[in-house]
Amino acid sequence: MEKIVINGGKKLHGSIRISGSKNATVAILPALILCEGVCRIENIPNIVDVNLMATVMYNMGADIKRINKSTIEINTANIRNPVAVDKLVGEMRASSYFMGALLGRFSHAEVSFPGGCDFGVRPLDLHLKGFSMLGAKYSISDGIIKLDAEKIVGERIYLDVASVGATVNIMLAAVKGEGTTTIENAAKEPHVVDLANFLNSVGADVRGAGTDVIKINGVKHLGGSTYTIIPDQIEAGTYMAAAVATEGDVTLTGVIPKHLESITAKLREIGAIIDEYDDSIRIRCSGRPHCCDVTTTPHPGFPTDMQPQIATILSFADGASRINEAVWDNRFCYVTELQKMGANINVDGGSALIKGVDRLAGAPVKAVDLRAGAAMIVAGLAASGTTYIQNIHYIERGYEDVVEKLTALGADIKRIYDNDPSIQTA
Ligand code: EPU
């Protein structure tokens, strides 16, 4: 098994490029199933979740050509069966998007129940409500969701919660349907907008993405295009957090500063100096972080996917902070790991009270999910002594070249095997 080992206390400095967005890529890859032409997708991050999704599509019959590390060409003409029943499908949440994409192309879909990070209940009721309103019937048995429609017909669909997944799935199912579909209380995340932009680039008619109301006028055909994925908001936010945690001076290139506004605002409250440019951002910090309260909400609010990383900084801030997690039921599993490093955090339901300690101390910890793993890295970089992080496969699901990028910024970080004789693991 591999681990990450960090000797903490090095101030990060320098410049790195942010990779393409995981959550946009995992929505756009299934959307390719709806396209009749060849698509070239650029700025794809080389991470486990994306590679899993591409493998499932390859197993379904898609022709996938890797042009270079971040560019692939895909032709899905040879997918003949609307079936994504594969053990790999059960390993990630975004594989639920095969339901919308296959339904949109074949009016039928069979998809293994999706998996993904465990934040408590992760329902699919809004996805299924959306499909039903578009004319599909569904059944679930043996861990497989089956959907069938005579045809997809546009409807007005109100989402009780502004769910990213339901918004994406309804867009995919409706884009080649008859008439107009309106999604009310739609998710506004940058990756939802990126999917809409991609669909429009291949001939769709999707309007209003990025607002509460998305209108999809069904079209008969979608062609091909060359499309560049947006930068990853959460990868950028994680390196911003790492810069603040280590009192560093870091420039991130290839970002869209507008997507980072809520993160920038909170890190400024904590004491960071942040300069925004057209497509880069510089973040500096010196001295102990200031305490502050944080509530996670859907975009444009503070993202839940940055909650563990900011909680980590607040765990050594100059006072008490409160975090309210308003998106997921159970996203504090990483707290036990931070406690092993000396953090003083009390969780009560969806809220955590963090009393800042002087400094975290390195310890053996584990990544309990993707962003929790990112938080362990931020903690290890800031802590005194050595931190060993287990379960790094979670981190590799969403962060391209994380060890290499942090090394380029001056961190003392390595990937090691359990039996590496040069390292004494705790
Ligand atoms: N919800 C329902 N019913 C549904 C779907 C969702 O009640 O049918 C609720 C959920 O229980 C949750 C809220 O709606 O309370 C938001 O869930 P959403 O559907 O927006 O989440 P998701 O689509 O499953 C995406 C990201 C997550 C991110 C959330 C929230 C992808 C592939 N995943 O998940 O990203 O936390 O939105 O922003 O886009 C990550 O990247 O680490 C990650 C977990």
Measured from the Cβ of residue 160, the count of other Cβ atoms closer than 10 Å reads 10
Q: Which of 23, 126, 163 to mutate to test the pocket of ligand 1 (most atoms within 8 A of CB)?
A: 163
Is 292 an active-site residue?
Answer: no
Q: What are phi and psi of 145, to 5 degrees?
A: -100, 125
Instruction: Name the closest-CA residue to atom 37, ligand 1.
Output: 164
pLDDT per residue over 110-145, tens digit each? 999 887 667 767 789 999 999 999 999 999 999 899
Nearest CA to ligand 1 atom 6: 163
The strand pair at 273-276 and 412-417 is best described as unpaired
What is this structure's pTM? Answer: 0.96
From the CB of 125, is ligand 1 less than 6 Å away? yes
Catalytic residue, chosen from 117, 285, 291, 292, is 117
The pair phi, psi for residue 259, each rounded to 5°, is -70, -15
Task: Tell me the helix, strand and coil percentages in the chain, rounded to 5.
Answer: 35, 30, 40
- Residue to probe by mutation, ligand 1, list 327, 330, 332, 396, most atoms within 8 Å of CB: 327
Residue nearest to atom 16 of ligand 1 (CA): 163
Q: What is the pLDDT of residue 116?
A: 67
Q: How far is the CA of 286 from the centre of ligand 1 (A)?
A: 34
The answer to whether residues 270 and 313 touch, using CB atoms and an 8 Å cutoff, is yes
Per-residue pLDDT of the chain (426 residues; tens, 9 = 90+): 899 999 999 999 999 999 999 999 999 999 999 999 999 999 999 999 999 999 999 999 999 999 999 999 999 999 999 998 888 888 888 999 999 999 999 999 999 988 766 776 778 999 999 999 999 999 999 989 999 999 999 999 999 999 999 999 999 999 999 999 999 999 999 999 999 999 999 999 999 999 999 999 999 999 999 999 999 999 999 999 999 999 999 999 999 999 999 999 999 999 999 999 999 999 999 999 999 999 999 999 999 999 999 999 999 999 999 999 999 988 999 999 999 999 999 999 999 999 999 999 999 999 999 999 999 999 999 999 999 999 999 999 999 999 999 999 999 999 998 766 555 444
Atom 28 of ligand 1, nearest CA residue: 305
pLDDT at 422: 52
- Beta strand 320-325 with 294-296 is parallel
Burial of 87 (0-12, 13-18, 19+ CB in 10 A): exposed
User: What is the arrangement of strands in the sheet containing 156-158, beginning at the earlier edge strand?
Assistant: 156-158, 180-184, 213-217, 205-207
Q: Which long-range contacts (CB under 8 A, 24 or more apart) does 254-260 make?
A: 254/17, 254/18, 254/279, 254/280, 255/18, 255/231, 255/279, 255/280, 255/281, 256/190, 256/230, 256/231, 257/281, 259/190, 259/230, 259/231, 259/233, 260/233, 260/236
* Interhelix angle 307-314/233-245, nearest 10 degrees: 10
Which of left, alpha, beta for 218 (phi over 0: left; psi -120 to 50: alpha)? beta
pLDDT of residue 225: 97
d(C-alpha 4, C-alpha 396), whole Å: 11
pLDDT of residue 234: 98
Is residue 303 reached through a cis peptide bond, with omega within 30 degrees of 0 on the bond before it? no
- CA 305 to ligand 1 center in whole angstroms: 10
